[in-house]
Chain A
Amino acid sequence: MTEQLEDPRETIRELQRELEETNSGLVALTLELEQRVDERTAELRQAHEELRRTNSELLQLTLELEERVAQRTEEVRRLNEELEARVRQRTAELEAANRELEAFAYSVSHDLRAPLRAIDGFSQAVLEDYAQKLDESGRSYLRRLRGASQRMARLIDDILTLSRVTRRELQRERVNLSTLVWEIAAELQRSEPAREVEFVVAPEAMVEGDRALLRQVLENLLRNAYKFTSKHPRARIEFGVQSENGEKAYFVRDDGAGFNSKYSDKLFGPFQRLHSVQEFEGTGIGLATVQRIIQRHGGRVWAEGAVEQGATFYFSF
């Protein structure tokens, strides 16, 4: 027999089988694809969900931050108000303290003087009315009593001046220091016309400051110069200006008793004295007052001197 041709039905069946295979392959592929699409979709959905969540968290954060900023701003505002209230309170307290100080100073000056007057007055009364009944020792004791009470009166005056310097408000204006020096020099000359004192005054020393307080400075310095030259037959007191390192300094110089420069840092302390009362009378407040006034003007004071070779007091501001 001859080779039979493949049964066409076999071919068809083969083809069918191939087709089915391909088909199922395709179906499988499709299923796979669909699955993958599902997976992707799920992933996308999740990503979207996460994004949405992040977004809402960010929004939340933004709201929180805004709230915190608002809170801080409110706190700062409140702190500011508190600070201002505290400043107002402190100012009121300081003003009250100042008023108390003024009342105290008035009381000190007024009420302390009365008993002093009695001490001085009755000592003198005893000296006058009972001089015969007293020996020289008794009279001397009474004189000491009077001296002490008068000294105390001067101390009270000086302390009051010092306290007034601190309390007073500075009234700034143009002041001619040279004119003031001449005025004070004239007063000093009148107080002791017998003395030979030469005044040398630099002209037109103009400054900006409180006239009354600056007058006090010059008075204290010039009176000191006058006092500490009183043991010499002739004296020279100079007021001048000098420039040092661009700093303008004014000075009062005398050729009197001077001071030991070892103690120069004590000079301006209140109640500090470098001479005994027997040598030169004084309360030790004059220079402290000068220093305080110059400091209130934003300046400084210093001094040079040597024993029996005069002294120079400088101030700058």
Chain B
Amino acid sequence: MNKKTILLVEDNPDDEALTLRALKKNNLLNEIVVAHDGAEALDYLFATGPYAGGKTPNGPQIVLLDLKLPKVNGLEVLRRIRADERTRRIPVVILTSSKEEQDLMRSYDLGANSYVRKPVAFEEFTEAVRQVGLYWLLLNEVPPTVSPQQVA
């Protein structure tokens, strides 16, 4: 039985800790891989750099993607995910503080599946993560993806 892997792309260590905690509280802590910037996320997804020849059998079942990232920003990561045959069906949920209309539109233009704003209050944040997690990991169905690691 495939263990569902979550790729969390988040540069802020506090937000990372809080998201992980929220996922754990809702028993959604499957396999979590955290990338701290856009470049690390791409390396993981396409089995390049430090992830070359990796042993993980599956690609992530879902990507939780922040927009403001160092090195390569979130929108660029999204574009690359959708541009590659191997990854383009993976559900991507944008999880960001940005309230900008622009970011919202660009994200959907580039093929994001969902856009969730991080609230300040912790209960709201946990609830948001719970709903996102429950929907995308349990209710939603995704076609099987061919992992770059398997192909590599």
Contacts of B52 in A (CB 8 A): none
A118, B14: Cβ atoms closer than 8 Å? yes
Least CB separation from A160: chain B residue = B99
Q: Residues of B with Cβ closer than 8 Å to A?
A: 12, 14-15, 17-18, 21, 68, 97-100, 118-123, 125
Contact of A120 among B68, B98, B99, B121 (CB under 8 A): B121
Are B123 and A124 in contact, with the CB atoms below 8 A? yes
A110 lies within 8 A of B120 (CB): no
Contact of A150 among B21, B118, B120 (CB under 8 A): B120
- With contacts A149-B120, A153-B120 taken as known, whether A121 is within 8 angstroms of B14 at the C-beta atoms is yes
Chain B residues with CB below 8 A from A125, complex form: 18, 21, 122
Q: Is A288 an interface residue (CB 8 A)?
A: no
**Can you list 11 A-B contacts (CB < 8 A)?**
A109-B99, A110-B98, A113-B97, A115-B14, A117-B18, A117-B122, A121-B21, A123-B122, A149-B120, A153-B120, A153-B121
Tell me, rounded to whole Å, the shortest Cβ–Cβ distance linking B116 to chain A: 13
A141 within 8 A of B: no
* Contacting residues, chain A, for B12 (C-beta < 8 A): 114
Inter-chain contact A116/B122, CB cutoff 8 Å: no
Contact B15 A117 (CB under 8 A): yes
> A147 to nearest B CB, angstroms?
10
CB distance from B21 to the nearest CB of A (A): 6
| Nearest chain B residue, comparing its CB with the CB of A154 | B120
Q: Which chain A residues lie closer than 8 Å to B98 at the CB level?
A: 110
Give chain B nearest CB distance to A24 CB in angstroms: 123
A125 to B22, CA, bound (A): 10
CB of A122 within 8 A of CB of B18, answer: yes
Closest to B21 in A: A125
Q: Does A139 contact B (CB under 8 A)?
A: no
The minimal Cβ–Cβ distance linking A207 to chain B, given in whole angstroms, is 27
CB distance from B47 to the nearest CB of A (A): 31
Of all A-B residue pairs in the complex, the 5 with the closest CB atoms, nearest first, are A118-B14, A124-B122, A153-B120, A121-B18, A121-B122
Interface residues of A in 125-180 (CB under 8 A from B): 125, 146, 149-150, 153
